[in-house]
Amino acid sequence: MASLPWVAVNTTLHKLESDLRKLPPSSISLDKRSQARTPEKRQLESQPLDFGEALSILKEGNFIDSALYVPLLQECIDRKSLWGTKSFHAHVLKTGTHQDLFLSTFLVNVYAKCGAIAHARKLFESLPRRNIVTWTALMTGYVQNSQPEQAVEVFIQLLEAGVFPTNYTVGAMLNACCSLYYLKLGRQVHGYIIKYKIDSDTSVGNSLCSFYSKCGILDSAVKIFRNTPEKNVISWTTIISACSESGRAETGLSFFLGMLLEGMTPNEFTLTSVLSLCCQVQEFALGKQIQSLCVKFGWEAQLPVRNSIMYLYLKCGEIDKARSLFEGMGTASLITWNAMIAGHAQVMDLLKDDVSSHRSGIEALKIFQKLNQSDMKPDLFSYSSVLSVCSRLAALEQGELVHAQTIKSGFLADVVVGSALVNMYSKCGSIEKASKAFVEMTRRTMISWTSMITAYSQHGLSDDALQLFEDMRFTGVRPNEITFVGVLSACSQTGRIEEAKRYFKMMTKEYRIKPVMDHYACMVDMYVRLGLLEDAFDFIKGMPYEPNEVIWSMLIAGCRSHGKMELAFQAADILLELKPRSSETYFLLLNMYISAERWQDVSRIRRLMKQEKLGGLRDWSWVNIKEKVYYFGSDDRSHPQSTQMYELLESLLEKAKGMGYIPYEILQIPDDSVGEKAGNLIVHHSERLAIVFGLINTVEGTPVRVVKNIGMCRDCHSAVKFFSELTQREIIVRDSRRLHRFREGKCSCGDFGAFL
């Protein structure tokens, strides 16, 4: 963006002003050529066409029927076939049809759409004649090929050439401005639009509306929309998707309602936008109603519509339905593939603690692999989704392969892909590679910074996290509420009470960010770690909203660790009034009462769990070894190497005891699938088995990475610390709450990470 000098911009606008002055007001508004397609043109398009056949005719140097020109070019766009376009171009030159301005303009457009903007430019330069549509096509081409500065440049040139801009040209200019984030320039263009009274033109209004929304000013977009006198379907679609981009899904849905009430018929664009809104706010029932609307209006066969519906099914967890839609799709686009990968990634979140969540991730990797084998190339969306899948799976090997692929394909340069990579390495336990990826980024957004700050914080490196936060502020990037979760949790890890208070104040006063539950949770966590349990209690009581389950469990777990049982019991009573929803919370209380031998309370908890219909938890862990996944449950003996595993485990535990390991009582997690078998006490939780399996089956000295579906208990946490020292191995366990990196007898979580 630096290459566009302000002088040029001002010249443009100055020139624009004088040129627009010469213009009779009526001539700007419409360019007939691009209006609704003429009947004979539509007829051309419906001609049957075999793309391959047509191309081979061209290749052999033979002529093709001119009736096939338009459909062939359209096909080149759809397939992004540069080779096809070139062949066609050659054909046009040979037949002398390049004199046809319509065809030449179309070719400029096709080259641009195939990503060959340089070719488009060359053709443009060589044309003996050009009209405003040709100019506009070139501008649009630059915008679409991420060279908005060039688009502005072309705009200057066309004005200098004495050509009159149309509404389309103004639209392309506004698009260039929003890609440049040139709010100022766009506003000036808006000024001229008003001055020359073309603001009542529907398409100009639509462009402005989309411009403001893309610059993040939804209010202005809404204003423009309301002031557009003759709203068409596009106007409504624009405002609806503007709401979607600004994350204001409810507003978007109400606009949709308004549209229907005004008797406007939605088109396929509208419906796909609305479906995406439904996904955003998880209004799946509404989404299914929209699906019926798609059928009613006859849009259900459109690929984008089918993509949206498939994505909707994934988001509400109906994977089988989504999969059958996917498999039934004759032609899938890259977006179809990406939606499948991203959808599976989100299903992982949906199924959080269940082992099927993991399977969904594996499925996503498989889909990505199939995409690689297909004739389509993954793009930045595919890469960022698949990287997030790798990070959720802690699949380092696969993640590294994807990393290599992003380097090869050049997508690593994208900020989102870069941030996803930082996150992947961090979640896979390698802070070194995460920070390397961060340092190598050429551009950073707030999310990139936040990812890295959070990464340091999760790895227990609070100095680095806080330093980076200061760097971020110094760079002038505005943190959001998630950044502060990272900052505050970094403070809490190392008990920096004063700094935590300062940052909390900074968040609310300087950045006007309303603290949410997670911020309070960080503060409570800090008091608890420091053993300041009364302070924690007071802090909780002073919160502006009702503390949730997580906050109370933290306090209770802390009281347990510090032996302040009276306070723990008091807090437990309050917690139970809240009717906790998670089984984990009940197990925390249950085990606490069992070890305190408060049998009345034990039966009270059991009764409550039955009332709430909360079943057992499954304790699962898995370990990735050479792209294969091995699952383990508590006391699992199903693996052929079991004997060897248990021998190693017992010997490690014995040696640990010699070094001072004192076992806590191991948390009992009754598993529903097994039924309540009396006297079947758990001896080993799943992560221990996964760890020893990893130790046996990986090379000496390399890290072992394990993922666990629920939180680690105190006993396992303490034992694994000794394992890391005894084996001189780095052991990484990612549980449902946080990341534990055990090295030389210490854990990155600072020892207060195990709640149960």
Partner DNA sequence: CTAGGGTTAG
Site residues for DNA, 328-387, by CB under 7 A, read 333-336, 338-339, 342-343, 345-346, 379-382, 384-385, 387
> How near is the Cβ of 517 to DNA at its closest, in Å?
7
Of 364 and 648, which CB lies nearer to DNA in the complex structure?
Answer: 364
Coil vs helix vs strand at 629: strand
Determine, following the binding rule CB under 7 A, whether residue 279 of this chain makes contact with DNA: yes
Tell which one of 406, 458, 553, 624 touches DNA (CB under 7 A): 458
On whether the CB atoms of residues 163 and 132 are closer than 8 A, the answer is: yes
Number of continuous H segments (helices) and E segments (strands) in the chain = 39, 6
Helix (H, G, I), strand (E, B) or coil at 697: helix
* Cβ 343 to DNA shortest distance, Å: 7
Q: Rank residues 91 and 740 by Cβ distance to DNA and give the closer one.
A: 740
Name 745's Cβ contacts closer than 8 Å, sequence gap at least 6.
Answer: 721, 722, 724, 725
Measured at the CA of 354, the angle between CA 327 and CA 620, to 5 degrees, comes to 125
Q: Which amino acid does the sequence have at 602?
A: V
CB of 426 to DNA, least distance (A): 8
* Residue 739, token pair as written in the block: 């990341």
Positive or negative, the Cα torsion across 636, 637, 638, 642? positive
393 binds DNA (CB under 7 A): no
Residue whose pair of structure tokens reads 């000295």 in the numeric block: 701
CB 685 within 8 A of CB 667: yes
Give 380 or 466: the residue with its C-beta nearer to DNA: 380
CB of 453 to DNA, least distance (A): 8
Nearer to DNA, 435 or 450 (CB): 450
Q: Check residue 106 for interaction with DNA (CB under 7 A).
A: no
Least distance from DNA to the Cβ atom of residue 387, Å? 7
Query: What is the smallest separation between the CB atom of 381 and DNA, expressed in angstroms?
Result: 4
Residues 128, 495: Cα–Cα separation, whole Å: 74
737 lies in the site for DNA, by CB under 7 A: yes
Q: Interface with DNA includes 207 (CB under 7 A)?
A: yes
Of 284-313, binders to DNA (CB under 7 A) are 302-305, 307-308, 311
Smaller CB separation from DNA, 168 or 632: 168
**Tokens of residue 154, six digits:** 């072309």
Q: Measure the N-to-C terminal CA separation of the chain; round to a whole number of Å.
A: 52
SS3 706: strand
Residues 413-432 that bind DNA (CB under 7 A): 414-417, 419-420, 423
Stretch that binds DNA, among 38-46, 444-452, 507-515, 595-603 (CB under 7 A): 444-452
Q: Collapse the DSSP code of 622 into the 3-class scheme (helix H, G, I; strand E, B; otherwise coil) and give the result.
A: strand
β-partners of residue 733 are 706, 740
CB closer to DNA out of 73 and 234: 234
Determine the Cα–Cα distance for residues 22 and 159; give it in Å rounded to an integer.
12
Is there binding between residue 457 and DNA (CB under 7 A)? yes
How far CA 172 is from CA of 16, 217, 476, 601, in Å, comes to 14, 19, 30, 70
What's the token pair of residue 582? 């998670």
Size of site (CB under 7 A) for DNA: 84
Residue 269 engages DNA in binding (rule: CB under 7 A)? yes
CB-based contact 559:542 (threshold 8 Å) = no
Binding residue for DNA, selected from 105, 134, 251, 273, defined by CB under 7 A: 273
User: Smaller CB distance to DNA: residue 243 or 689?
Assistant: 243
Helix axis angle, 167-180 to 148-160, nearest 10°: 150
619: Cβ–Cβ under 8 A, 6 or more apart, which residues?
633, 634, 669, 671, 682, 685, 686, 708, 709, 710
Instruction: Looking at residues 156 to 195 of the shown chain, list those that interact with DNA (rule: CB under 7 A).
Output: 168, 171-172, 175
Give yes or no for residue 105 binding DNA (CB under 7 A). Answer: no
584 binds DNA (CB under 7 A): no
Stretch near DNA under the rule CB under 7 A, chosen from 3-11, 409-417, 535-543, 609-617: 409-417
Q: Which is nearer to DNA, 486 or 694 (CB)?
A: 486
Residue 388's CB: how many other CB atoms inside 10 A?
22
Name the residue type at position 411: F
Is residue 434 near DNA by the rule CB under 7 A?
no
Q: Whose Cβ is closer to DNA: residue 473's or residue 655's?
A: 473
Q: Which of 421, 430, 427 is nearest to 403 (CA)?
A: 421
User: Binding to DNA (CB under 7 A): which residues in 222-251?
Assistant: 233-234, 237-238, 241, 244
Measured CA to CA in angstroms, residue 754 lies from 584, 719, 720 at distances of 12, 12, 12
- State the minimum distance, in angstroms, from the CB of residue 304 to DNA: 3
Residue with smaller CB distance to DNA, 655 or 737:
737
Residue with Cβ nearer DNA (104 or 246): 246
Q: What is the DSSP string of 309-373?
A: HHHHHHHTT-HHHHHHHHHT-SS--HHHHHHHHHHHHHHHHHTTTSHHHHHHHHHHHHHHHHHHH
Does position 133 interact with DNA (CB under 7 A)? The reply is no
Contact (CB, 8 A) for 692 and 645 = yes
Site string for DNA, 510-549 (x = CB under 7 A): ------xxx--xx--x------------------------
User: Which of 217/335 has CB closer to DNA?
Assistant: 335
Q: Is 79 in the site for DNA (CB under 7 A)?
A: no
Least distance from DNA to the Cβ atom of residue 423, Å: 4
* Under rule CB under 7 A, residue 446 binds DNA: yes
**Options 360, 406, 483, 621; binder of DNA; rule CB under 7 A:** 483
Cβ distance to DNA smaller for residue 85 or 109: 109
User: Which residue's CB is nearer to DNA, number 430 or number 457?
Assistant: 457
Exactly one of 721, 738, 740, 741 binds DNA (CB under 7 A); which one?
738
